[in-house]
Structure 1
Amino acid sequence: MGRQATPPAPEKPSAHVFTATLVTYANLSSADHHSTLASLPPCVSTAVLPEVPLDDLPTDARIETRIFTVVKRAHPHLRDLLRSMLASPAGVAAFVADVLGPWALEVSVKLGIPGYVFCTTNLMALHSMICAPQFDKTTSCEFRDLPEPIRLPGCVPLRGADLIDPVQDRTDPVYPLVVELGKKYLLADGFIVNTFDAM
């Protein structure tokens, strides 16, 4: 009786390597950011977009105004970065903007990259910002002066005074930017957001 051939060992499934590139803005970086980014694991790389001019903003411009302006003006740099990544062997599976940067989704849409928004607060805050354009059209007084609660689908009623601070003064230059922010969220293919009631 001859020896039986030993069946070959099953092949191990190939490991899928997940990588991410954190895109930051030179205008908004600090020493703390550098130390945090340096401590990231090897599968996370970073890319810093060059500074954009902000000389035309008032010296007392709110931080939100500065952030929104940087994100909008850095479009050409972000487009160049994403194009170079698309041309690499790894490519780009998705682009994720943070809650203050949905203008960047304009770039991912033009390049055909699925785009998402990562909201670090909660669903109600995100929902209220998405609805800011509608609130702007349907009200004329300051939100804090609304006589009736604001009712967002799926959320508890909110007092107008409970909405985010940048929408509480229609004369502030940040106000129209927040209304525009709400419109830009609609470019997203989806949202990553906290929806649990308690931790």
Structure 2
Amino acid sequence: MQTPPEEMKPHVAFLPSPGMGHVIPLFQLAKRLVFDHAFQVSFFLITTHSSAAQDQFTRAAAQLSPHLRIICLPEADVSAIISQDMRILTQICVITTESIKPLKPMLIDLNPTPVALIIDIFTTDVISICEELSIPVYSFFTASTPLLALSLYLPTLDLEVEGEFVDLPVPVEIPGCKNMRTEDLVDQVKDRKNDEYKWYLFNVSRLQYAAGILVNTWENLDVQRITALKQNSFFRSIPTPPVFPIGPLIKEEETLTEKDAEILAWLDNQPCESVLFVALGSGGTLSSKQLVELAWGLEMSQQRFLLVVRKPSDASASGTYFTVGSDEDDPSAYLPDGFLEKTSGVGVVVPSWAPQLPILRHGSTGGFLSHCGWNSALESLVQGVPMIAWPMYAEQRMNATMLVEEIGVAVKAAAEIGEVVVGRKEIETVVREVMEGEKGKMLRRRAAELKRSANEALESGGSSDRSLSLLVDIWKSNLKI
């Protein structure tokens, strides 16, 4: 196929909010447009308080293609605005608001004018800018369909319910969808007096102004909610923009360091599906007490494991959101005394960060103890690996419930009633159950089914391929030649 000249290529711009969980899915879509559909892309990055992981990503991404241009927005001075007691979402939204102030002239200078700007849930401030410039805005909702349904319903819930949603005596009834238990609600809506709730409500209230909502899932994974979002009379009346399930879009490869190669070499020497991978996401941080219980639970299970660990924090479960990928600590300083010696030869401990996708893809990996962030959940589903659900913050509890109770590909490690910390005995039981029990075999069969389903959705003519092709046709029809 002959490559069209530059002036004939449709041009799409992207603007994710801070955090690798937002950047990566949007970038995967950008790559697909460039390499599979002959688009040119301008990918704006917010650099204010960017993590070491994002800086590393930026350097690698800039080398991929001349048709995929990385544009770093100038770092904004937020020192007088952001305080230590601000919750993560408030910080993200404040950083975004300040960082996009120079965006309008930068969009005007793009040549040719983009046929679309693709944002995520926390960069909706640019909608008004793009209205002035006649650039259609599409929202790429990078989280799960349960959160999308709740988010679209939230403005109505806000008007109809007094007091706190977590105090409701019954689950939240979302039109056309499964009811949602109040304990599974996303953290950002659990305290309506906090600025975090106001920011969340502000952003989701603006979803209706998008030209379309892209979702990182596929139709067969959640038929009920996707059908409701497209057809239910409530969602049609909001009105909800057209919904395009285009996933699963996950990282396709990772740049491996010498340390990463050593990890994979260790996996090469383990039996098939014998290793439990334990990783709690880019921002997840356990408390000191919970880390001790997790460590001893792994040791008691007598299963092979690969544990990604970082310095515990008793202040916040999302304590490393803005520092992921920075300098590593020595795990022996905060793991229990004797743990490393007792598990030598059976387990490997990796400080801070590990190459998640190659590990999940490896034949020796038989389970994944995960925080249930949506990107990690998708990576596990695409590789056919069953999960132990360990939700920590944000929307991870609702994802865990979906994975355990609806999709049937995970079990949940639960603390005893009245306790916050999951005990070592429970961890031992759940790990054994997944890695060597009958339940684990059932989960593994279900995971293999979902792996096939995900691949079929992305293949030529599959449901997600058709959704993306429809978007491509819309954007090409907007091309002014």
Asked whether the 8 Å contact 1:75–1:107 carries over to 2, the reply is no
The 1:143/1:112 distance shift into structure 2, 3 A limit, reads same
Deviation sequence 1:93-138 (CA, Å, 0-9, x none): 1000012222222221221101011111122211212222221111
Asked whether the 8 Å contact 1:94–1:114 carries over to 2, the reply is yes
TM-score (norm 1): 0.83
* SS of structure 1 residue aligned to 2:125: helix
Indicate yes or no: 2:55 matched with 1:34. Answer: yes
* Residue of structure 1 aligned with 2:154, choices 119, 127, 132: 132
* Residue of structure 1 aligned with 2:71, choices 35, 38, 47: 47
* Residue of structure 2 aligned with 1:66, choices 76, 87, 91: 91
Asked whether the 8 Å contact 1:132–1:178 carries over to 2, the reply is no
Which structure shows the higher helix fraction? 2
Aligned to 1:7: none
- Counterparts of 1:13-162 in structure 2, within 5 Å, are 15=4, 16=9, 17-40=38-61, 41-42=64-65, 43-54=67-78, 55-85=80-110, 88=111, 90-162=112-184
Q: How big is the shift at 1:14?
A: 5.2
Distance (whole Å) between structure 2 residues aligned to residue 52 and residue 129 of structure 1? 29
Deviation sequence 1:37-82 (CA, Å, 0-9, x none): 2223213211111233321233211111011112223343111211
> What letter is aligned with 2:71?
A
Distance (whole Å) between structure 2 residues aligned to residue 66 and residue 137 of structure 1? 26
Asked whether the 8 Å contact 1:71–1:104 carries over to 2, the reply is no
* SS of structure 2 residue aligned to 1:27: coil
Q: How big is the shift at 1:195?
A: 4.5
> What letter is aligned with 2:81?
D
Distance (whole Å) between structure 2 residues aligned to residue 158 and residue 180 of structure 1? 21
The 1:175/1:46 distance shift into structure 2, 3 A limit, reads same
Deviation sequence 1:122-172 (CA, Å, 0-9, x none): 222112122222211111121111112222233211122222101101222
Asked whether the 8 Å contact 1:131–1:182 carries over to 2, the reply is no
- Identify which of structures 1 and 2 has the higher relative contact order when contacts are C-alpha pairs closer than 8 Å and 6+ apart: 1
> What letter is aligned with 2:103?
L
Asked whether the 8 Å contact 1:143–1:161 carries over to 2, the reply is no
Aligned-residue Cα RMSD (Å) equals 1.9
TM-score (norm 2): 0.36
Q: How big is the shift at 1:28?
A: 3.8
* Structure 2 unaligned spans of 5+: 10-37, 222-406, 408-449, 451-481
The 1:192/1:83 distance shift into structure 2, 3 A limit, reads same
> What letter is aligned with 1:19?
Q
Asked whether the 8 Å contact 1:28–1:67 carries over to 2, the reply is no
Asked whether the 8 Å contact 1:129–1:181 carries over to 2, the reply is no
Asked whether the 8 Å contact 1:64–1:174 carries over to 2, the reply is yes
* SS of structure 2 residue aligned to 1:20: strand
Percent identical pairs in the alignment equals: 24
> What letter is aligned with 2:168?
L
Runs of 4+ displaced beyond 4 Å: none
* SS of structure 2 residue aligned to 1:113: coil
